[in-house]
Amino acid sequence: MKAYKIPEATVMRLSIYSRYLKQLLDENVDTISSSEIAKGVGVSSAQVRKDLAYFGEFGTRGVGYKVGELYGHLMKILGLDRKWNIAIIGAGKLGSALALYEGFKERGFTVQGIYDVNAGIIGKELSGCTVEPLAKLANQIKEKQITLGVITVPASSAQDVTDILVKSGVEAILNFSPRVLKVPYGVVLRNVDLSVNIEVLSFNLAAKIQ
C-alpha cells in the first residue's frame, strides 16, 4: 500500500529499524516480530507495522519478518543500496569529526572532499582527504559527482556556501549551522541544531526543578 506523503518521523524510524536489523543480522537472527523490533528500538509494535505499511507488505502473518529480507527492503527504501558522494564544507572541529565519523562510511556515504577558507587548516589530512580551499568546491562537486553537501561553517557564511553548493548541482544539504537557509525548490535541506538539543534538555530540567 504505497502512499504519497511519508511522515518524516517514519523515515527517521526506518533508519533506526534498519540499524537494529543489521545488528540482528550480524547475530544470525533469522526471523523477528514487530513487537520485538519495537522493544529493541523503543517504540510501539503498531508503530513499526504502520511505518512499514507505507511501503508494502514485508511480513508473514503469524510469523513475523525475515531479518535479512526486511533489512534489504529498508536499505532500498532509504536509498542506502547505493553509494553517495558527500562534501563537507567547514573543516573546524565539527567538520573534522564528521569527516572521520565511521557511521557515514558504514552506510555508504563517502567523503569526497573537505573544504575550508582557513589557510591554517587547508592541506591537512582527514581520513584520506586533504582539506581543500573553498574556491575549489564548485569544480570538484562536478568532477567528483558530489550530490550531498554537509555544512559545518559558521552561520555568517552558511548561505554563501549553500549558494555555491546549489549552483554546482548538489541535490541535498545537511546543515549544521544555526541559520535558516534558502534553497530553491527541488533541493533537499535538513537542519541539525546541536544547541537546540541541549536547550530542550535545559528546558526539561528547569521545568522539573520548579
Binding partner of residue 55 among DNA, a copy of itself, none, CB under 5 to 8 Å per kind?
A: none
For cell 573534522, the residue is 96
Site string for DNA, 15-54 (x = CB under 7 A): ------------------xxx-------xxxxx-xx-xx-
SS3 annotation, the chain: CCCCCCCHHHHHHHHHHHHHHHHHHHCCCCEECHHHHHHHHCCCHHHHHHHHHCCCCCCECCCEEEHHHHHHHHHHHCCCCCCEEEEEECCCHHHHHHHHCHHHHHCCEEEEEEEECCCCCCCCEECCEEEEEHHHHHHHHHHCCCCEEEECCCHHHHHHHHHHHHHCCCCEEEECCCCCCCCCCCCEEEECCHHHHHHHHHHHHHHHHC
Report yes or no: 139 and 169 within 8 Å, Cβ to Cβ.
Answer: no
Q: Is 100 in the site for DNA (CB under 7 A)?
A: no
Site string for a copy of itself, 170-199 (x = CB under 8 A): -xxxx---x-x-----x-x-x-xxxxxxxx
Binder to DNA among 60, 139, 197, 202 (CB under 7 A)? 60
Rank residues 72 and 108 by Cβ distance to DNA and give the closer one.
72
Binder to DNA among 9, 135, 188, 196 (CB under 7 A)? 9
Q: Is 135 in the site for a copy of itself (CB under 8 A)?
A: no
Q: Is 2 in the site for DNA (CB under 7 A)?
A: no
Binder to DNA among 4, 8, 27, 206 (CB under 7 A)? 8
Binding partner of residue 16 among a copy of itself, DNA, none, CB under 5 to 8 Å per kind?
A: a copy of itself
Report yes or no: 135 and 123 within 8 Å, Cβ to Cβ.
Answer: no
Alpha-carbon distance 209 to 194, whole Å?
23
Q: Is 85 in the site for DNA (CB under 7 A)?
A: no
Site string for a copy of itself, 60-99 (x = CB under 8 A): -----------------xxxx-x-x-x------xx-xxx-
Q: Is 93 in the site for DNA (CB under 7 A)?
A: no
Which residues contact DNA by CB under 7 A? Answer: 1, 5, 7-10, 33-35, 43-47, 49-50, 52-53, 57-65
